[in-house]
Amino acid sequence: MTALLDVKNLRTHFHTTSGVYRAVDGVDLTVHAGRTLCVVGESGSGKSVTALSVMGLIDAPGQVQPGSEIVFDGRDLLRLPERQLRSIRGRDITMIFQEPMTSLDPVYTVGYQIAEAVRAHNDVDRKGATERAIELMRLVGIPSPERRIHDYPHQMSGGMRQRVMIAAALSCDPKLLIADEPTTALDVTIQAQILELMKDLRDRLGTAILMITHDLGVVAEMADDVAVMYAGKVVETGSVTDVFNRPQHPYTEALLQSVPVLGMSKEHPLRVIQGMVPSPLNWPTGCRFAPRCTEAFDRCREELPPLFTVDDQRSACWLCETGARGSAGVEEIYR
Amino acid sequence: MTESTAPLAPLPVAAPRRDHLLRRLLRHRSSRLGLILLAGYVAVIVVGPLLVAGSPTSDPHYQNLGESLQGPSASHWLGTDQLGRDELVRLVIGARYTILIGIGAVVAGVLIGVPLGALSGFYRGWVDLLIQRFIDIVLAFPHFLLALALVAVLGPGLRNLIIAVALASFPRFVRLVRASVLSVREQPFTEAARALGVSERRVLWRHVLPNSLTPVIVQAPLELGSAILTASGLGFLGLGVRQPTPEWGTMLGESRDLIFSNPRLLTYPGLCILGAILAFNLLGDGMRDVLDPRLRSRKRLPRRLRRLSGKAGR
Amino acid sequence: MMGYVTRRLLIAVPTLVGVAVVSFLLMRLIPGDPARVLAGPDATAADVELIRRQFGFDKPVLNQFLDYMGRLATGDLGRSARTGDSVLAEILARLPYTVMLAVLATLLAVLVGCTLGVIAAVRREGLADLVLSGLSVFGVSMPVYWVGLLLVILFSVNLGWLPAAGAESWQGYILPTVTLSFFTIGFISRQMRSAMVETMEMDFIRTVRAKGVARWAVVLRHAVRNAALPVVTVIGLQFGQLLGGAVITETIFAWPGIGRLLVESIGARDFTTVQGAILIFAVALILVNLLTDIVYAYIDPRIRYD
């Protein structure tokens, strides 16, 4: 398996008047060509900032810290000049966002906005770009695209707008599609349709997907691989079956146990993770999950654990230093 | 209202955490500059008359044609005007009129506008309709021209000037308070007061209105600047205070014919007016930044992160 | 969109009527005997009596009001007490000068103000922003008459480049236009800056950037276009300020427009002309606001297609 995107020790900090907000603070991720990696974590764990950092869309006061590496297709994006970065952005790496209601420009037609993505990277005239836009709209399942290219965003439903976003993102056959909670703002039935569409497109076009979500249901549906984020760091990665069945990090385990599932037995009541997510202005020393962890011991509160390799997984927990930690996977919990 | 009292406390409204606000205003670049400028004007108003008391010009009716239009000298630092009066002394005495007119007009505008806006927003229905149509009509007139017409009809003079400026500007306070009351009346604490059996009238004046005044406080300095601009403009056209009151706009207007021979007589009063309006505008800008959470500095987190982190990035 | 425009037009009608009522009432505010005031200080008792009958001051107020509205409906603004000419004719003769001045000043202000505002927003909290923001505060704080006088001192008195008065040549338009646009430039650039700053933080800007569109295109095509929406409304709202400034500007530059007519008429206590001029200014303001509403509807598809 070749690594398409390799993020190493990514740190993105925001220098605000009230201090340094370390939203992303040492993230390691790998997306393999043609595979789907889901980054999962609670609000404020740094998932979205990670995605925006890969896109090179971090604005002041935010800054990707020196020492970070974002290697895409063999090139470190952080060392590329803005011009080259822009030619990758939107062509090789594209992104769709959480808020289909506000993510499209209200004063241009959706056709124009798809064609704009086409024209940004291809030498085509307006007519050619429009034809391509119609083609793309058909691809993402928008009915009668010849007519709907003249629609403005406010004339479309949320699901349709998200399809438009996807169409624009696919305009140049990207190698990597970053999806930042693409279904969170949609109705449940529409969510399923959009996920179905993305799976279908992935299988047909072979695009790798980096999907950000807090919804473990989405992970189960979409992911080949999973990265669990907590407090600006990745605490566990591995294939979705491994991580779901044998979570190595106590946080992953707690997260899995906090989701209600039909048919749960009474012996396994929902688990609540005690305490609050710490503030990025002031991460705790040692393992950042230690204050909320039921298994923490002295070392956890003093030293930050690195990612340990456990079989095919990696976990940032001191308990994994010497190999697999006994844990309850999904199958056990829901049996 | 006496002329020499310090006019810094801008409005007769309760401002909770006032010194906290003052401290924040002093931290903000533009309001700090505005406050310093204003302090200068207040100092001139309070101390100035004592310093110039010995000069004959401090009597407004003084004239000495033998000394007219002299250049700056040791005895007349800024020279004399066409009637031989000391320019500096007149400017010092004029400060109080400019500030007095500004504050008088804004206070009057607030006194008319706030109750109307409160009634309009609170009772809605036909009261609202009536008041809003009326406001539409007043706002249909260019603000300065309405003041101009009112002064033309009422005749010049300090009192009429204040009335004219206030009548031309109160609709803005009506709009401001109405919008604010409309949102505050939907707040849970209003419901709570009603549930406790507080009368509608009391709910409005004791609960809703005091919580609706922030926009007025934010707007007040800008309105002061605007009132001074209008009033001095009327003075310039010869429709302001009566002769020989040394109001700056009037002084400028009287010196207009001297533009080729003595442009300095146009420069000084203009600078004084500019400084006063600038001070209030800077204060207003700072006030809006400090009190209006929608405006932000670049040193803040992007919107998405702010949503997550509460007030961390302010 | 047609529905929207019709609605706006219908709202403007009662406002127009209200404006006429207010301009009628304005003259009733004159303290004392209006006939006496209108006739002027040198008038004989017979003159005053003539004026009283001419203006109908001897009739009940309601009749006077109905007469006034009736005459207005036929476009009759009365006769000037000073010259005896038709007020409407006098105003129409001067209207082109005022319209020209206002249009030129607005164009200049929109052009310069928007450019400065966009630059300040793009260079947010940099040196350019600091300088431009400082300049625009000066712009909105400078009294229009003082700007005019300073420009005259500099360009007419000291440099002798431009005429200080009159509308005879195209050079004569330069100083009045710049004077009148000064405040509006500051005002628009401040509005444009904050609208741009707000727009640049919106989600859809991030989407456009994610498409790999060049930065200048993001700013000009998307940010400016969206930021222009609130600014259009604001331009309409401050047009009243501009008209007020026009009166002063015309006075300074001896401009043969309605503004100077108004000031001269006030000086001559020619209240019929004052009333007519004020009415015309109010109608102009209503029309301009109507126009900006329509422009807004046209450039915002959310209204255009509703």
Point out the residue among B229, B259, B303 whose CB comes nearest to the CB of C152. Answer: B259
- In order of their start, the domains of chain C are 102-268 (1.10.3720.10)
- Cα distance between residue C258 and residue B148, in whole Å: 14
Q: What is the DSSP letter of A34?
A: T
Backbone torsions φ then ψ of A12, nearest 5 degrees:
-120, 115
Each residue's pLDDT expressed in tens, for chain A with a length of 335 residues: 678 999 999 999 998 877 888 999 889 999 999 899 999 988 888 889 999 999 988 887 888 999 899 999 888 999 989 888 888 998 999 999 988 888 999 999 999 999 999 999 988 999 999 999 999 999 888 999 999 999 999 999 888 999 999 999 988 889 999 999 888 888 888 888 889 888 888 888 889 999 999 888 889 888 999 999 998 999 999 999 998 888 889 899 888 888 776 665 666 667 777 778 888 888 888 889 888 888 888 888 888 888 888 888 888 888 888 776 766 555 555 44
* CA–CA distance, C155 with C147 (Å, rounded to integer): 12
**C266 contact residues in B (CB cutoff 8 A):** 148, 152, 237, 239
Query: Is the Cβ of B296 closer than 8 Å to some Cβ of chain A?
Result: no
B194 to B38, B115, B128, B249: CA distances (angstroms): 43, 20, 21, 51
Q: A105, C211: Cβ pair inside 8 Å?
A: no
pTM of the predicted structure, to 2 decimals? 0.84
The kind and range of the H/E element at B162 are helix B158-184
Read off the pLDDT of residues C278-303 as tens digits, 9 standing for 90 and up. Answer: 999 999 999 998 888 888 888 888 87
Say how far apart CA B65 and CA B78 lie, in whole Å. 17
Token pair 């790999």 in the structure block, residue: C212
- What is C44-77 written as a DSSP string? -HHHHHHHHHHHTTTS-HHHHHHHHHHHHHTT--
CB-based contacts of B179: which residues, under 8 Å, 6+ apart? B121, B215
Residue pLDDT, tens place only, B162-213: 999 999 889 999 999 998 898 888 888 888 888 888 888 888 888 888 888 8
Residue B284 clears pLDDT 60, i.e. is over it: yes
Residue contact B301–A16, C-beta within 8 A: yes
* pLDDT band, residue B45 (cuts 50/70/90): confident
d(CA C91, CA C35): 23
For residues B137 and B120, what is the distance between their CA atoms, to the nearest angstrom?
A: 16
Q: For chain C, say whether B122 makes contact (Cβ under 8 Å).
A: no
Give the pLDDT score at A2: 77
The boundaries of the domain holding residue B175 are 24-58+77-293
Asked if residue B244 has a cis previous peptide bond (ω within 30° of 0), the answer is yes
DSSP state of B206: I
- 10 Å CB burial of residue C44 (0-12, 13-18, 19+) is exposed
* C58-69 burial: b if 16+ Cβ within 10 Å, else e: eeeeeebbeebe
Q: How many whole angstroms from its chain centre is CA B121?
A: 24
Report how far residue A237's alpha carbon sits from residue A39's, in angstroms, rounded to the nearest whole number.
9
DSSP annotation string for B48-91: HHHHTTTSGGGSTT---GGGTT----SSSTT-B-TTS-BHHHHH
Q: What is the pLDDT of residue B210?
A: 86
Instruction: Dump pLDDT digits (tens) for B59-81.
Output: 766 777 777 777 777 677 777 77
Report which of residues B15 and B262 the model is more confident about: B262
In-domain check, residue B138? yes
Quick check: helix, strand or coil at residue A37?
strand
- The predicted model gives C79-104 an average pLDDT of 88
Domain count, chain B: 1
The H or E element spanning position A314 is: strand A313-315
CA C144 to chain centroid, in Å, comes to 13
Cβ count within 10 A of residue A214: 17
Distance from the A19 Cα atom to the nearest Cα atom in chain B, whole angstroms: 8
Residue A59 to residue B302, Cβ atoms within 8 A = yes
Note the helical H segments in A176-302: 188-205, 216-222, 240-245, 250-257, 298-302
List, in sequence order, every residue forming a beta bridge with A7; answer none if it has no partner: A29, A70
CA distance A308 to A324: 10
Q: What is the pLDDT of residue A1?
A: 63
Parallel, antiparallel or unpaired: strands A176-180 and A208-213: parallel
In DSSP terms, which residues pair with A177 in a beta bridge?
A: A94, A209
Contact assessment for residue A111 and residue A171, using Cβ atoms and an 8 Å cutoff? no
In 3D, which of B241, B245, B232 has the Cα closest to residue B59? B245
In a domain, B4, yes or no: no
ipTM confidence score: 0.87
Q: Which of residues 251-280 of A touch B (CB under 8 A)?
A: 279-280
- Are the C-beta atoms of residues A120 and C213 closer than 8 Å to each other? yes
Per residue in B199-244, pLDDT tens?
888 888 888 888 888 888 888 999 999 999 999 999 898 888 877 8
Q: What's the burial of A323, exposed, middle or buried (CB within 10 Å: 0-12/13-18/19+)?
A: exposed
- Residue A66, exposed/middle/buried by CB under 10 A (0-12, 13-18, 19+)? exposed
In this structure, is the dihedral angle defined by the CA atoms of residues A253, A256, A260 and A263, taken in order, positive or negative? negative
Count CB atoms within 10 A of the CB of residue A15: 12
Task: Select the highest-mean-pLDDT range: A187-196, A294-303, B271-280, C40-49.
Answer: B271-280
DSSP codes joined into one string, C132-144: HHHHHHHHHHS-H
Q: Alpha helices of B213-263 — where are they, by DSSP H?
A: 214-236, 248-254
Buried b (16+ CB within 10 A) or exposed e, B182-198: bebbeeeebeebeeeee
To the nearest whole Å, the CA of B263 is away from the closest chain C CA by 7
Residue type present at position A187: D
- Any idea what the CATH number is for the domain that residue B240 is in? 1.10.3720.10
Residue A69's contacts (CB-CB under 8 Å, 6 or more residues apart) are A6, A7, A8, A9, A10, A76, A78
**Is 50 exceeded by the pLDDT of residue B6?**
no
Question: Does C303 lie at the interface with A, CB-CB under 8 angstroms?
Answer: no
3-state DSSP helix/strand/coil % of chain B, to nearest 5: 70, 0, 30
Interchain CB contact of A132 with C (< 8 Å): no
Name the residue in chain B with its Cα closest to that of A21: B313
Interchain proximity B285–C266, CB inside 8 Å: no
The encoded tokens of residue A162 equal: 């998200």
What's the pLDDT score for residue C284?
Answer: 92
Which residues, in sequence order, are bridge partners of residue A309?
A314
Neighbours of chain A (3+ CB pairs under 8 A): B, C
Measured between CB atoms, which of A16, A59, A60 is closest to B313?
A16
- Match 């506000």 to its residue by tokens: A102
Contact C29 B150 (CB under 8 A): yes
Asked if residue B164 is part of any domain, the answer here is yes
Residue B16, chain A, CB below 8 Å: the answer is no
Any idea which residue has 């989701």 for tokens?
A259
**pLDDT bucket at B15, cuts 50 / 70 / 90:** very low
